[in-house]
Amino acid sequence: MIVGAFILFGLLAILSLYAIVVYNRLVNLKHDTAKAWSNIDVLLKQRHDELPKLVETCKQYMKHERETLDRVMQARAGVSAAREASDLPALGLAEGRLRRGLLSLFAIAEAYPELKADQSFRNLEVRISGLENAIADRREFYNEAVNNNNVRLEQFPDIVIARRFAFQAFELLHFGEEEKSDVDVRELFG
């Protein structure tokens, strides 16, 4: 009888410790995903702050390219609204529009030698291009963290603990199909 109680107590202790380990792993994954998103968010905010400077610099030289400049600013507003609402599908679409607008802006800038020679423009171009690369890198880290989290939430026995404590799956950050397609250089320079 006493031996049976020790065995039962031992099994309960092992199960409790295992549940604690699983719970702690799930918490860690949730926070890794949140941290990965925060890293993207910081870069999006930095780029958001740089774009008006770029557009203002371009306005001084590109008097006839108002439509391109407006498209960049509208796309910037779309990214900001989607980011603030944490709407990842809308963010992906807005990011695609913004990237196309920036490609178009930089392509058109080639026709303005005074603009290309402007130190402020060159600094902003380098800064924004660097932020674009960093966002792409962080997007990869975010999606990896989301995938790790979501897989663990579906695996047994983690699913039992995850449901008990209401752990939620996260959404992957996807950009639109046009983001993944090849750039039509003739369209940019045409």
Amino acid 176: pLDDT? 61
Please give the full DSSP string across 81-116, using - where no structure is assigned. Answer: HHHHTT-HHHHHHHHHHHHHHHHHHHHHHTT-HHHH
CATH of the domain at 16: 1.20.1440.20
Stated pTM of the model: 0.76
Output the pLDDT for position 71: 87
Task: Give residues with Cβ within 8 angstroms of 94, minimum separation 6.
Answer: 75, 78, 79, 81, 82
Q: What is the CA radius of gyration of the chain?
A: 24
Q: Which domain holds residue 94?
A: 2-189
Q: Count the domains in the chain.
A: 1
Q: Give CA 21 to chain center in angstroms.
A: 29
Q: Which two tokens stand for residue 109?
A: 């800038």
CB atoms within 10 A of CB 131: 19
Two tokens, residue 29: 């994954």
CA distances from 25 to 31, 84, 158, 159, 162 (A): 10, 28, 9, 12, 10
- pLDDT tens for the 190 residues of the chain, in order: 788 888 999 999 999 999 999 999 999 999 999 999 999 999 999 999 999 988 888 888 777 778 888 888 999 999 999 989 988 888 888 988 898 888 888 888 888 888 888 888 889 999 999 998 999 899 999 999 999 999 999 999 899 999 999 999 999 888 765 544 444 434 433 4
CA distance 70 to 48: 14
